[in-house]
Amino acid sequence: MTATVTDTSKEAIRRIFDAQRANQQAVAQTTARERIAKLRRLHKILMRYRQEIRDALYQDFRKPPTEVDLTEIYIITSEIKHTIRNLRRWMKPHHVATPLPLLGSRSYIQYQPRGVVLIIAPWNFPVNLTFTPLVSAIAAGNCAVLKPSENTPHSSAVMRRIVKEAFPENEVALVEGAVETSTTLLNLPFNHIFFTGSPAVGKIVMQAAAKHLASVTLELGGKSPTIVDETADIDKAAARIAWGKHVNMGQTCIAPDYLLVHESRKEALLKKIEQHLKASYSEDPQQSPDYPRIVNRKHFERVRASLQDALDGGARAIAGGQAEAAGRYIAPTLVTDVDKDSRLMTEEIFGPVLPVIGFRNLQEAVDIVNSKEKPLALYLFSKNRNNIRQVLNHTRAGTTCINNTLLQFNNHHLPFGGDNNSGIGKSHGWFGFEAFSNARSVYKQVWPFSTADLLKPPYTAWKQKLADWTLRWL
Ligand code: NAD
């Protein structure tokens, strides 16, 4: 069944924005208790819509219901629970130390909402990536406009109903539409824009934000490498790479994009990955109820063309390779002998194709990683502490997971986000709350006199002496 999303009119968007602006001060004044009540309401309604969300994602790209539970709904509910547990503490003034020259004062940071925020989401985890940032935005006391992706219209329709039921429009509103709607929204003077999507659109978002000097969080993508050294547990590495690559059919921002494996373990690893793929998706993944589909024809053609381009350049598909356009199906595919300049090795794959490159010493793998933009995630399978240290110290990445894949996303105590091309700013837990807040510094003079009182003009000789002493000792 196909469904499309129509763009929301400019007038409707302006009306929502103005209503939220008028309400923003009231929302900013809400207490922790009131914000927690909102989060509980969202949690309750979300759970009531659990089956509708599962059905919508099945219609959008045949996402298996269990995967919807674990990678969409659970991510939001666990974020809500973590936020509820911590919000009172986060909202309190954060006292900081007083340096000696400022004796007689007290200082603290007060986290205040940014105001009216815009959350633009991609299609690959449509519910998770629309509502998880919303949890942080609500916790921080903002009004929010949500713009989910036009590529997952069934999910957007369910989310619109959830938002309508959970919040008045002057507090949280969901606007459906594609580029036109997004552009209309980006022309408005939002206080903060939280964008999840491709680096190319991230640049458009940042340019639009510059017009109003809106702050931004950009959660982008890129090519996330996976390194397997000669000391790794090959069976576990294979199982976890096969899983991390094929959750959501590889349409995951932090999916292992390409695999760098020590030559001595390459054959064994690939054999094991194939075995684990068969164990998960059977001999014929096309028949497996647990294997999703590429979201639309355009993305199907993109992944297929990248694969073909690599094969034409001399690469070999050692597993998979089958594709069927009508069903937007591509088999889990392992490719070796890939040219480093091919599209598979230069563009984000975002599909179930894994190029594999062998290395003889770890520095070669580090050099390949460093020849590309900083990735969102880097995975490393190793039992050798020096190797782990070498990779961590000599590469850059937004996030890293050692001896597993994807799970760094699930620890609320870790900041989630990229670096430059893979993103700007962080989210999840405290870091999400911080992203949607302004850290306001408050300095309070407590004693009747301040050291600065002694140092006002006219700058007499003894004041100069005091300045000399300050430079020397403080
Ligand atoms: P996308 O950038 O094409 O679209 C994201 C959103 O931007 C959508 O809501 C879309 O309507 C809007 N948009 C598209 N073109 C626009 C334009 N010209 N002007 C204004 N708005 C526009 O991304 P996508 O295809 O939906 O998602 C895939 C990308 O997102 C991948 O690069 C992936 O790595 C990245 N991603 C990153 C994260 C993360 O957390 N860092 C998570 C998921 C996906």
pLDDT in tens, 175-226: 999 999 999 999 999 999 999 999 999 999 999 999 999 999 999 999 999 9
Alpha-carbon span 64 to 330, nearest angstrom: 16
Domains and CATH numbers, the chain: 10-220+424-438 (3.40.605.10), 225-411 (3.40.309.10)
Any atom of ligand 1 within 6 Å of the Cβ of 150? yes
Q: Is the CB of 120 under 6 A from ligand 1?
A: yes
Q: Which distant-in-sequence residues (6+ apart) come within 8 Å of 349 by Cβ?
A: 223, 250, 257, 258, 303, 306, 355
Distance 74 CA to ligand 1 centre (A): 22
For 265-324, write each residue's pLDDT tens digit: 999 999 999 999 999 999 999 999 999 999 999 999 999 999 999 999 999 999 999 999
Q: Is the pLDDT of residue 1 over 70?
A: no
- Residue 295 in contact with ligand 1 by CB distance below 6 A: no
What is the reported pLDDT for 2? 58
d(CA 328, CA 294): 5
Q: What is the mean pLDDT of the chain?
A: 97
Residue-wise over 242-268: b if at least 16 C-beta within 10 A, else e? bbbbbbbbbbbbbbbbbbbbbeebbee
**Does the pLDDT of residue 108 top 90, yes or no?**
yes
Q: Which atom of ligand 1 is nearest to the CA of 200?
A: 2
pLDDT at 146 over 70: yes
pLDDT value for 125: 98
> 418 Cβ partners below 8 Å, 6+ apart?
218, 219, 220, 221, 222, 374, 375, 376, 398, 399, 424
Q: Counting atoms of ligand 1 from 1, which one is nearest the CA of 222?
A: 34
Task: Indicate if ligand 1 lies below 6 Å from the C-beta of 7.
Answer: no
